[in-house]
């Protein structure tokens, strides 16, 4: 068990980070190359003003008409994504590991809040899964890969929660937690999860088109 832990937390972790960073760079560069080759006209109306306005608007809860029409979905979506991003970055155990490795540290979440945000991610994953199974409009654009991605996203939080409270075997779930986190990192650049990287660019493009070309707000 010790050898497995050392492998997943050492060479495998470094490999996952390298693939993640390299994959993200490839995704962004490839996107810019495609735009330059096929849709160069986009450059003519890309606007910092309208692009940033759109990003800010769509990053604010209930700021758009669509968000106000679906309040439950808006609350779940924002709570899920905020918890998904903030919890791993500010979890005490993660920050301690980073400090031990690189002598760098920052503010951490209180344990109770970290637990609550972890449970929000898990509950959000269940919500999105049920929604894909029961909502006809969402069913139409759902494939098996969507459920796999949900499992990949939620798994690090489930295993981390179980490991933290040492339920059902601490060492086993610590290894699963590290491994599932590495799988998610590697998956991000090459699946629909890449919207974590490309969403700001897409939103800036939409905002620039609506503001600079259609002279309308994109909500």
Q: Summarize pLDDT for 67-108 with one digit per residue, the tens.
A: 999 999 999 999 999 999 999 999 999 999 888 878 888 999
Tokens of 170: 């601490």
Rounded-to-integer distance, Cα 150 and Cα 40, Å? 35
Average pLDDT over residues 16-36: 91
Is a pLDDT exceeding 80 seen at residue 216?
no
For each of the domains in the chain, give its residue range(s) and CATH number, in order of start: 2-213 (1.20.950)
Tokens of 17: 């980070």
Tokens of 153: 């996203």
pTM of the model: 0.90
| Residue 2 CB-density burial (10 A; 0-12 exposed, 13-18 middle, 19+ buried) | exposed
What would the DSSP string read from start to end of 66-133? HHHH-HHHHHHHHHHHHHHHHHHHH-HHHHHHHHHHHS-------HHHHHHHHHHHHHHHHHHHHHHH
Tokens 């600079």 belong to which residue? 212
Average pLDDT over residues 50-64: 91
Most confident stretch, 101-105, 117-121, 162-166, 206-210 = 117-121
Q: What percent of the chain is modeled with pLDDT above 90?
A: 58
pLDDT of residue 210: 85
30-44 core/surface letters (b: 16 or more CB in 10 A; e: else): eeeeebeeeeeeeee
């Amino acid at each position: 068990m010790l050898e497995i832990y050392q492998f997943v937390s050492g060479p495998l972790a470094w490999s996952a980070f390298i693939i993640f960073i390299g994959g993200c760079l490839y995704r962004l560069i490839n996107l810019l190359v495609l735009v330059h080759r096929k849709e160069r006209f986009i450059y003519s109306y890309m606007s910092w003003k309208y692009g940033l306005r759109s990003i800010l608007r769509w990053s604010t809860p209930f700021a758009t008409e669509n968000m106000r029409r679906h309040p439950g979905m808006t609350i779940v979506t924002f709570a899920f994504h905020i918890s998904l991003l903030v919890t791993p970055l500010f979890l005490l155990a993660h920050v301690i590991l980073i400090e031990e490795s690189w002598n760098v540290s920052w503010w951490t979440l209180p344990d109770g809040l970290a637990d609550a945000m972890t449970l929000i991610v898990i509950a959000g994953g269940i919500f999105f899964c049920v929604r894909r199974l029961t909502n006809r409009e969402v069913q139409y654009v759902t494939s098996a890969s969507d459920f796999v991605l949900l499992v990949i996203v939620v798994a690090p939080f489930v295993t981390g929660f179980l490991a933290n409270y040492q339920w059902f075997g601490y060492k086993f779930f610590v290894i699963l937690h590290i491994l599932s986190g590495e799988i998610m990192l590697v998956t991000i650049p090459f699946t629909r999860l890449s919207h974590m990287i490309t969403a700001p660019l897409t939103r800036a493009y939409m905002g620039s088109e609506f503001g600079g070309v259609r002279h309308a707000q994109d909500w």
